Structure 1
């Protein structure tokens, strides 16, 4: 939970925990242990690099709904807007321009909400 909080922030994790029900508690435990307790806790690559990989994979697979959350997390992982743009440019070449274009649009909207000048 410590790594999850350090990346996503207390407010996000608190909302997710408050929304957890008996029905999805096993799923929430699995992603907390697997994604945050194992994968994100490993220091083989930096959290900055993990942020860029995560954003590129979300865009490449068309899972756009989590992109804003992970853009906001970049403030905690050290991935700068230009890093994110480079990740999405890779998506354009290897997974398609429409996916990258949509991800860039979401990134711009999220950075604007965050007050980040691009």
Structure 2
């Protein structure tokens, strides 16, 4: 099980970035530690490591699902992760167009608003660097 956790942590850091993972690990308590271990092993160690999708493809599927389900905080996190997954803004736009048809225009409209805010913040951060 340790190998699965270690591999999950490696992929999690590669996709979300060390700063995010370090913050999440620092906030971890005895209460949510089992959940953090579960998502590290299952989502990151078992799912994100599967070879059938590239990181870019997996990123886009994740963004579409999160947008369609209205999981705004996780959506924002995965939009920021596009800088690490190879998903372009055009890719994201197209994924959100699918959300409009298959999950509803209001969900896609809200997700586009979030994407514009996140991408603008990323651009400002890069300009300051």
Within a 5 Å distance, the mapping from 1:26-41 to structure 2 comes to: 26-41=34-49
Deviation sequence 1:11-70 (CA, Å, 0-9, x none): 000000000000100000000000000100111110100110000000111111211110
Q: Distance in 2 between matches of 1:2 and 1:65?
A: 22
* TM-score when normalising by structure 1: 0.96
Please, which runs of 5 or more residues in structure 1 have no aligned partner?
none
Please, which runs of 5 or more residues in structure 2 have no aligned partner?
1-8, 125-129
| Equivalent position of 1:107 in the other structure | 115
Note if 1:25 corresponds to 2:33: yes
Q: How many residues align structurally?
A: 116
* TM-score when normalising by structure 2: 0.88
Runs of 4+ aligned residues of structure 1 deviating over 3 Å after TM superposition are none
| Equivalent position of 1:47 in the other structure | 55
Note if 1:66 corresponds to 2:74: yes
| Equivalent position of 1:90 in the other structure | 98
Within a 5 Å distance, the mapping from 1:76-87 to structure 2 comes to: 76-87=84-95
Considering only CA atoms, is the larger Rg found in Structure 1 or Structure 2?
A: 2
Q: Distance in 1 between matches of 2:69 and 2:122?
A: 25
Q: Give the superposed CA RMSD.
A: 0.8
